[in-house]
Amino acid sequence: MFEIKKPTSSNKTIRMPDKLIEKLEKLAAQNDISFNQLVIQCCEYALENLNSSDDT
């Protein structure tokens, strides 16, 4: 049976350097995705590519 799944999410306020925000906003615009989606993808990539000794 087809099941619709709705991913859960939460709001979290974080502080980033202005220059980093500018770079991420530019990259998001160039790739026609939201700033939020780009940050999520960057974080997921970083976590998936940690050295095994860095895993928590």
Residue 14 pLDDT exceeds 80? yes
Q: What is the pLDDT of residue 51?
A: 84
Kindly state the helix (H) or strand (E) to which residue 45 belongs, with its residue range. helix 35-48
Is 28 in a helix, a strand, or coil?
helix
Instruction: Name the token pair of 36.
Output: 């939020």
Is 30 in a helix, a strand, or coil?
helix
pLDDT tens-digit map of 33-53: 999 999 999 999 999 999 866
Mean of pLDDT values over 1-27: 94
Residues 21-28 have a mean pLDDT of 98
Per-range mean pLDDT, top range of 1-5, 31-35, 52-56: 31-35
Q: Count of CB atoms within 10 A of residue 33's CB? A: 13
